[in-house]
A and B are shown apart, each in its own frame.
Chain A
Amino acid sequence: KQEVTQIPAALSVPEGENLVLNCSFTDSAIYNLQWFRQDPGKGLTSLLLIQSSQREQTSGRLNASLDKSSGRSTLYIAASQPGDSATYLCAPEGAAGNKLTFGGGTRVLVKP
């Protein structure tokens, strides 16, 4: 059974600092891995998807890396802004392509 851990559980940084969010998973037989953002009371917004054959994916200030063999992914957010305050969730998709397994998320607060 896939288990996903996200560290830290919460993070508070001043505006402009770079953010590093960690995700580890126990079963390396994944099809892909997605990072999501969730604002309070809202659904999940997809940020980045990394295929299992890829090492990293970039979108604007966001960069996600994937080391499938060691069961790790890292989300980097450069030059953080108060609008980046949210909960960030990682979710590997099983090789059968039928289930995303989520970690508990990292709650980020960027102070102006």
Chain B
Amino acid sequence: GAGVSQSPRYKVAKRGQDVALRCDPISGHVSLFWYQQALGQGPEFLTYFQNEAQLDKSGLPSDRFFAERPEGSVSTLKIQRTQQEDSAVYLCASSLYKGEAFFGQGTRLTVV
């Protein structure tokens, strides 16, 4: 596709439920990033992939958060046993390598 695609756009989860958020980066982009954005704040870094290698996961808030990119293209962010504080917009971005990053529309997660 022409841009970064994320799905679903909206997700409502009951507390304790597991969720999986998908990101389709721009074809050929080596770098892929996940960010978490709370209401009224700037995005916070979660994790970074270079191809299939997860090179930085320092921003993942707990071991309930897990990300993968097994074939170096599509990535999935999984949150286990969701809690109310996980409610946020999750943004995915990709870039060729270093350089201009392109963001998807985000997935708004609401935990009830």
Q: Which residues of A contact B (CB under 8 A)?
A: 4, 6, 31-32, 34, 36, 41-46, 49, 89, 93, 97-105
Contact = CB atoms under 8 A, between A and B. Distances in A.
A44 B43 contact: yes
B106 A99 contact: no
Contacts of A34: 100-101
Give the interface SS of chain A, mostly helix, strand, loop or mixed.
Answer: strand
A103 B45 CA distance: 12
B91 A105 contact: no
Given A98-B31, A99-B56, A43 B97 contact: no
A105 B108 CA distance: 19
A25 to B, nearest CB: 12
5 contacts: A32-B98, A34-B101, A44-B91, A46-B102, A89-B42
Given A43-B91, A99-B56, 12 more contacts: A32-B99, A34-B101, A43-B106, A49-B100, A93-B98, A97-B31, A97-B97, A97-B99, A98-B56, A99-B48, A101-B45, A105-B41
B25 interface: no
